[in-house]
Amino acid sequence: MISKRFLLVLVYALPILLVAFAVLMGGYALAEGLQDLAAAGALLWIALTTLLLLIVTLLLLVMSLGVQAVAQLPDPPRDARREVRDEE
């Protein structure tokens, strides 16, 4: 079973990472517009790392919610299991 704390961290991390990515890309555009290529490069790498973390967080959230949903499914009755074996 997946803990609520882990799910809360994932849920709260999504908007934070999204806002951080937007701010970093804005800073990148500003630095590039001011011809500060070193700062623009650094901000781009940090923004891409943030985007990677955002994608990983989203995948972890979807997988953990899927595992939790499957874990909460009721077991099929014993007769249904026997019928499936008989048909094979």
CA–CA separation, 84 vs 79, rounded Å? 9
State pTM to two decimals: 0.77
Question: What's the confidence (pLDDT) of residue 73?
Answer: 82
Residue with tokens 């972890």: 60
Residue with tokens 């994932």: 10
pLDDT band at 80 (very low <50, low <70, confident <90, very high): low
pLDDT band at 9 (very low <50, low <70, confident <90, very high): very high
pLDDT at 78 over 80: no
CA-closest candidate to residue 2, choices 68, 54, 56? 68
pLDDT in tens, 16-71: 999 999 999 999 999 999 999 999 999 999 999 999 999 999 999 999 988 888 88
